[in-house]
Chains A and B, each alone.
Chain A
Amino acid sequence: MPAFRIAAVLGLPLIGFKLVDQSGGEGLATRWPDLGAAIAIVFMGRFALSMIAEGATLSALAIGAGAVIAAILVPWPSVFLNVIALGGAALIVLRAAYGLAGPRPVAVIGAWVKPAGRLAPWALIVFALSLPLFGDRYVLDSATRITTYVMLGWGLNIVTGLAGLLDLGYAAFFAIGAYVTAILGAGFGLSFWECLPLAAAAAAASGVLLGFPVLGLRGDYFAIVTLGFGEIIRIVANNWRSLTNGSQGVGGVPHLNFFGLADFTANPANGHPSFSQMFGVPYRPIQRVVFLYYVILALALAVNLFTRRIRVLPIGLAWEALREDEIAAQALGVDRRRVKLAAFAIGAAWGGVAGAFFATQQGFVSPESFGFIESVMITAIVVLGGMGSQLGIVLAAILIIGLPEFFRFMQEYRQLVFGAAMVAIMRFRPRGLIATRRPSVTSR
C-alpha cells in the first residue's frame, strides 16, 4: 500500500477529526485541510525518497528545495504541520545532497567526532557559565530546571551507572531533602545553607535504612522494592499531615540568600544588607534567578567532580567490579553489602542536596512533585545517557527535560515528539547516547 494511502487511513481518525466542546456537550469538528496537508507531506516525502532510490538524486534535491520554500511560504493549517513539512523537506535535501556527495562526508564527519568529543564537556561548561549573559528569565528558569535534573541524573548515576543498582525510586531521596529543607526552613527559619548538610544526611540515612534489608535482592527484585519505597515516601508525605501539611504542601520556605551574607530583595527586613547594596549594583529581580542558577550549577558540578574522584578510588572500582561480575569481585575481597550500601547512601545524599535546592528555589514543597513519574524521568536520563557517562546524562537531561520545553509551541504534539525521541534513541543507540566507558586510570 503506498505511503500516502496509509497516511490517509491513519490520518483520518487521528488528524481529520477533533473532539470539541460544544454548548450541548461534545462534538466532532473536521479538520480536512490539516488532513490534506499531512497526506501531501507524506506523498511528497515518499516520492522524493523513491527518486533517490532510483538514482534521480538531482531531481530529489530539487523537490526537497522546493518543499523547503513551500514549507516556509505556504500558510499551513497548524504550526505542527509547518514544522513537520519543514523538517521533512530539510531531511530530503540533506539526504539528496549526501547521495550526490558520495561516501566522503562520512570520513570527514568521522575525523571531527573525536576532538569534538573531547572538547564537548568544556564547551558545555563555558556555555553553562555564560548563559546568564544572554538568557532572559524564562531561559534561566528552564536552565535551572534542566540543571537540577542533570544533578539528579549524576547522583543516580553513582547508584545505577557505577554500582549497577537499578533504583526506580530515586525521587524519594529528592523528596526527603526537599521536605527537610522546607520544614526546617518554614518552621524553624533555617536557611538553605544550614539545611543543606541536614538534607544530605537525612537522605543518606534513609538510603541506608532502605538499602540494608534489600541490597541482598537481585536486580529486578531490587528495582521493584525501590519503586515501592518511592511510593511510600510520597504517600507518607501526603498523609502525615501534622508534619508535611498533607497534599497542601509546605509553603513559606525562606528564599535563597547570598551565602548568609546578603539577601536578594530590594530592602531586606531581617537586617541583612541586600545583594545590590553589598556590591553597589542597581537592584534587579533577576539577580536572584541568576544566583539560583549558579548555585545549582555549582552543586551539579560538585557531584560530577565527586564522581570523577571516587571512581578511581578503591570503593569506586569496587562498585564497577560488582556491577561487572559479582562473584569475581567478592572473591577478590569486596564486601558486597557494605560497598553497595555505600553507593546507595552516597547517591541518596546527593539526591537530598538536590531536593534542598528544589525546596528553596520553589519556596513550596508538596507530594505532587515527587511522584513515580519523577523517578522514571531521572532513571530515563541515566539510561538514555549511557549508564555511567556523565556527558551522556547532560545530553539526555537536555533532551528529556528541555525538549518538551522547547517544543511547547507544538502543544499537545510535544509528548509525541518526546516519545519518538526516546524510541529513536533506544533504537539507534541501545546502550545509551554515550556508551563507552573510559578507564579510570591511564599510564600515558
Chain B
Amino acid sequence: MALPAVGAAMLEIENVSAAYGPVRALDGVNLNVGMGEIVTLIGANGAGKTTLLMTICGRPSAKAGRIKLKGQDITALPTHRIAALGVAHAPEGRHIFARMSVRENLQLGATLAAPANFARNLDRVLTLFPRLAERIDQRGGTLSGGEQQMVAIGRALMAEPDLLLLDEPSLGLAPLVVRQIFAAIGQINRERGTSILLVEQNAHHALALAHRGYVLVAGEIALEGKAADLAVNPQVRDAYLGG
C-alpha cells in the first residue's frame, strides 16, 4: 500500500445517510478530516453527532454514501476491522470497563498495537494523564467522571490510532478538568500528528482548539469552515456560543 501524500485526506465522508430503523439520523453528510488535522463537529442535542462517529465505526453502518479512510473504502466493514485500520473511538458516555482496573482498560486499548510498543505507549498515556498513574489499579467504575474520561482517551491512544474520534470529552467535567482534557487533545495532535475528529457541545473550547469545524443541524451539515471563522460567525455565536 502506497503511503498517502502529505495533506491528503485521513477521513472522507461522502453523502452519508444513516438511520435507526425508520428514524433518519444523518442525511447526505459530507465531511473531511485531513492528515494531522483537528476537526470539530458541533450541533444541538439530537443533531446526529454521535451517530456520525458511530457510523464511521460501522454501527449503524451507512445506508447511503461512502466513508473512506486513507483512501480505502470502509463503509461496509465490521467495527473491529475498521479499528484495525487505525480508527480509535472514545465514545459518548465513555464506555470504560467498569469492573476492570485502569491498567486492564489500557491493556485492552492496546489490543491492536504491537505488543513491543506497549510499555512505551503506556508510559506516554501516563505522562499525558499523571492522574491515571496514581490510580492504575483502581477499578474503572470507581473513578471520577474526569478520570474516566482520561481512561477513555488513554485507552483509545493505546491503539496508536491514525484517527481519533472523541465524543463530547468535556461532558460533565469541571472547568479546570475540561482545560486539562483539551490541553491533552492538543498535545496528542501536535506530538504524534494524530488526526482528530472532535464532537463537542462546548463550542467555545472546541473552536479554539480545532483547525476546522462543521455544524450539524438535524442530520445535515449546515455550516463548515475554518474554526476561527466559525467562532465569529453570527449564526454560530447565537446558537452555540451563547450570543
Which A residues contact B (CB, under 8 angstroms)? 314, 317-318, 320-321, 324-325, 327-336, 437, 439-444
Contact = CB atoms under 8 A, between A and B. Distances in A.
A324 B98 contact: yes
A311 to B, nearest CB: 10
Contact of B79 (A314, A324, A331, A437): A331
14 contacts: A317-B100, A317-B104, A317-B107, A318-B108, A320-B104, A324-B97, A328-B96, A331-B83, A332-B111, A332-B112, A439-B101, A439-B137, A441-B101, A442-B137
Nearest to B105: A321
B124 interface: no
B103 interface: yes
B100 A321 contact: yes
A324 B109 contact: no
B59 A327 contact: yes
Contacts of A331: 57, 79, 83, 88-89, 91, 95
Interface string B82-97: 0110001101000111
A70 to B, nearest CB: 50
Contact of B95 (A325, A335, A437): A325
Given A328-B96, A330-B80, A333-B80, 10 more contacts: A318-B108, A318-B111, A324-B100, A327-B95, A331-B57, A333-B112, A437-B100, A439-B100, A443-B137, A444-B137
A334 B80 contact: yes
A357 B139 CA distance: 39
B80 A320 contact: no
B123 to A, nearest CB: 13
A336 B83 CA distance: 13
* Contact-residue bracket for chain B: 20 to 34
B155 interface: yes
A331 B89 CA distance: 7
A328 B112 contact: no
Contacts of B136: 443
A371 B222 CA distance: 63
Contact of B83 (A321, A333, A437, A442): A333
A297 B30 CA distance: 63
Given A324-B100, A331-B89, A317 B108 contact: yes
B137 A321 contact: no
B80 to A, nearest CB: 5
B80 A336 contact: yes
A444 B101 CA distance: 13
Interface in B145-168: 155, 159
B164 to A, nearest CB: 12
B99 interface: yes
Interface in B92-144: 95-101, 103-104, 107-109, 111-112, 136-137, 139
Nearest to A327: B95
A441 B95 contact: no
Interface centre among A324, A333, A441 (most CB of B within 10 A): A333
A321 B91 CA distance: 15
B137 A332 contact: no
B83 A332 contact: yes
A335 B57 CA distance: 14
Nearest to B79: A330
A317 B101 CA distance: 11
Nearest to A436: B99
A276 B136 CA distance: 56
Contact of A333 (B59, B101, B111, B139): B111
Given A318-B108, A321-B108, A333-B80, A328 B97 contact: yes
Nearest to A335: B80
Contacts of B112: 332-333
A387 to B, nearest CB: 11
A86 B80 CA distance: 61
Contacts of B78: 330
- The list of the 5 closest CB pairs from A to B, nearest first, reads A328-B95, A333-B83, A333-B112, A439-B101, A330-B79
A329 B108 contact: yes
Given A331-B57, A443-B136, A437 B99 contact: yes
Contacts of B104: 317, 320, 439-441
A330 B61 CA distance: 14
B222 to A, nearest CB: 28
Nearest to A325: B95
A200 B130 CA distance: 47
